[in-house]
Amino acid sequence: MFCDWLNELQRFLHWGPVIVFSLMTCVTWTTVHVNAMWWPPAESFNAAINFVLIVFFNLITLYHFSMSILVGPGLLPKHWRPENPEDEQFLQFCKVCDGYKAPRAHHCRRCKRCVLRMDHHCPWINNCIGWANQANFFYFLFFFMLGSIQSALIIGFSCYEGIYRRALLKQGDTDGIRVVLTLRSAMACMYSLGIVVGVLLATLKLMQLQIKAIIWNLSEIEGWIVKKAEYRRYASSSIGIAIPTFDYPYDMGVWRNILETFTPSNDGINWPVRPGCDQYTMTREQLAQKVQKRARTRTYRCIASATGYWLPILSQGLMVTICMPCADDPRIVVHKGDLVQVTRVQEYWLYGERVLSKREQKLQKKHQLKGHIRGWFPRCCAVEQFDEDQSAGDTVDVTHNTDQKKTKTGSKIKKRKT
């Protein structure tokens, strides 16, 4: 138990939480400094309330930020299997965790575990957002937004009054001058104001995404699955193939969805579903999409090596670097002769999974294989490989048919001679 908490505390030692703490410290110090001149707490009751709100927003934001990290999203136990072995056919198997993925659970390559109702991996808390900590993450965003609005107003009005009062001071009007800014404090105010406005806009966007996820009880990953389900049925109907309709099973109504987020009534594995659906409605759709994905997979053979760098300007050139994918997926190292199962194709990049050798497969089972095997690599390093066995089989069939024709022709000639 102590080791688990120690591992969670280590999550604070990451660039995401460090940047958040640094920005909050900078903005809070500037806000308190100028507020002491612009609206001193001892001046009136309203001024005291304003100062109390500054402290409250900072403390409550730090609390929910820390809890989002420490509580975590909720992890599916390793080697997990459903109670009924017959249900395993409806679930995907995770090779890394050596167990089945529960409904709504997904594997996070950064956390290296299967996460319950995974929404996304957030670099700012260095953890996933999921079943257990989504409420804390929403509270963090909400109070962070309110604190940012208050700080922006205080710093903005203080900067305006400080600059305006300095002009009056030069004219000899010293009545009512409260905010006096030096060059250093003015620069700190402008810097903090720029930070708080930028962070506020980003927070509003994240709030929009989280509100949508909570109201519809639809995680970011599940949103992709639903879109692919709609497209799969549209594409099938266009060629005359009918597929049963897909109903998203976890939308229980706005109020019930909100309660399931802030006061969950489930264990993160077994979820309440809509009438006409069951626990495996979503997982069966995922398996069907995986089958289609494998059908679209193309095998590429590497004709050159790739370093796995994000900016391979020296090894692959300028255009490959400029046109890199706008995604945080990893880049993989490939060597000449490697085979890669490609599922996504761009003009200059390919996304796929490298085919492992027998030795690498043994290392993977022991969790000793280093580096990513699935990710992006430059397209110029590989060429598509067609099925040689099928081509060879076609050649054999043609030869066999030709031999049969020759045999039949020869027998006819012999009959004529006789």
DSSP notation for 171-184 = TT--TT------HH
What is the mean pLDDT of the segment spanning 218-227?
95
Residue 169 lies in a domain: yes
Q: Is a pLDDT exceeding 90 seen at residue 175? A: no
Q: Are 118 and 76 in contact (CB under 8 A)?
A: no
Q: What percent of the chain has pLDDT over 90?
A: 67
| Structure-token pair, residue 263 | 């006061």
Q: What percent of the chain has pLDDT over 70?
A: 88
For residues 182 and 47, membership in a common domain is answered with yes
DSSP state string for 186-208: HHHHHHHHHHHHHHHHHHHHHHH
What angle do the packed helices 134-170 and 15-38 form, to 10 degrees? 40
What is the mean pLDDT of the segment spanning 334-339?
94
pLDDT of residue 65: 97
Total domains, the chain: 3
Expressed as residue numbers, the domain containing 396 is 387-418
Residue 128 lies in a domain: yes
For residues 141 and 212, membership in a common domain is answered with yes
CATH code, domain carrying 343:
2.30.30.40
146 or 315, greater pLDDT: 146
DSSP state string for 236-260: HHHTT--------TT---HHHHHHH
173 or 236, greater pLDDT: 236
What is the rounded distance in angstroms from the CA atom of residue 311 to the CA atom of residue 320?
Answer: 8
What is the mean pLDDT of the segment spanning 218-239?
92
> Which residues in 30-143 belong to E strands, given as ranges?
93-94, 99-100, 106-108, 113-115, 120-122, 127-129
- Helix or strand (DSSP H, E) at 375: strand 374-378
pLDDT of residue 403: 42
What is the mean pLDDT of the segment spanning 85-112?
94
pLDDT of residue 166: 62
Residue 366 phi/psi, 5° resolution? Answer: -90, 5
Q: Is a pLDDT exceeding 60 seen at residue 416? A: no
For residues 301 and 191, membership in a common domain is answered with no
For residues 201 and 128, membership in a common domain is answered with yes
What is the rounded distance in angstroms from the CA atom of residue 314 to the CA atom of residue 57?
Answer: 48
pLDDT of residue 388: 53
With cut-offs at 50, 70 and 90, classify the pLDDT of residue 352. very high
For residues 391 and 375, membership in a common domain is answered with no
Q: What is the pLDDT of residues 237-273, one digit of tens each?
A: 888 888 889 999 999 999 999 999 999 889 999 999 9
With cut-offs at 50, 70 and 90, classify the pLDDT of residue 213. very high
What is the mean pLDDT of the segment spanning 192-219?
95
With cut-offs at 50, 70 and 90, classify the pLDDT of residue 417. very low
Of 216, 235, 270, the domain-final residue: 216
What is the rounded distance in angstroms from the CA atom of residue 105 to the CA atom of residue 57?
Answer: 33
Q: Is a pLDDT exceeding 70 seen at residue 147? A: yes
What is the rounded distance in angstroms from the CA atom of residue 134 to the CA atom of residue 222?
Answer: 15
Q: Is a pLDDT exceeding 90 seen at residue 370? A: no
Q: Is a pLDDT exceeding 90 seen at residue 30? A: yes
Cα angle at 230 between 229 and 235, to 5 degrees? 100
Residue 282 lies in a domain: no
With cut-offs at 50, 70 and 90, classify the pLDDT of residue 163. confident
With cut-offs at 50, 70 and 90, classify the pLDDT of residue 68. very high
For residues 45 and 134, membership in a common domain is answered with yes
What is the mean pLDDT of the segment spanning 183-203?
93
What's the burial of 74, exposed, middle or buried (CB within 10 Å: 0-12/13-18/19+)? buried
Average pLDDT, the chain: 87
pLDDT of residue 393: 39
What is the mean pLDDT of the segment spanning 310-335?
89
Known catalytic residues are 122
C-alpha separations of 76 from 82, 102, 364 in Å = 12, 8, 20
pLDDT of residue 367: 72
What is the rounded distance in angstroms from the CA atom of residue 233 to the CA atom of residue 238?
Answer: 9
**Among 277-281, 334-338, 383-387, whose mean pLDDT is lowest?**
383-387
Q: What is the largest CA-CA distance in the chain?
A: 134
Q: Is a pLDDT exceeding 70 seen at residue 131? A: yes
Please state, as a whole number, how many other Cβ atoms lie within 10 Å of the Cβ of residue 138. 21
Residue 368 lies in a domain: yes
Of 216, 244, 268, the domain-final residue: 216
With cut-offs at 50, 70 and 90, classify the pLDDT of residue 93. very high
For residues 321 and 413, membership in a common domain is answered with no
pLDDT of residue 389: 44
Residue 141 lies in a domain: yes
For residues 409 and 322, membership in a common domain is answered with no
With cut-offs at 50, 70 and 90, classify the pLDDT of residue 413. very low
Amino acid in position 174: T
Q: What is the pLDDT of residues 263-312, one digit of tens each?
A: 988 999 999 999 999 999 999 999 999 999 888 899 999 999 999 998 88
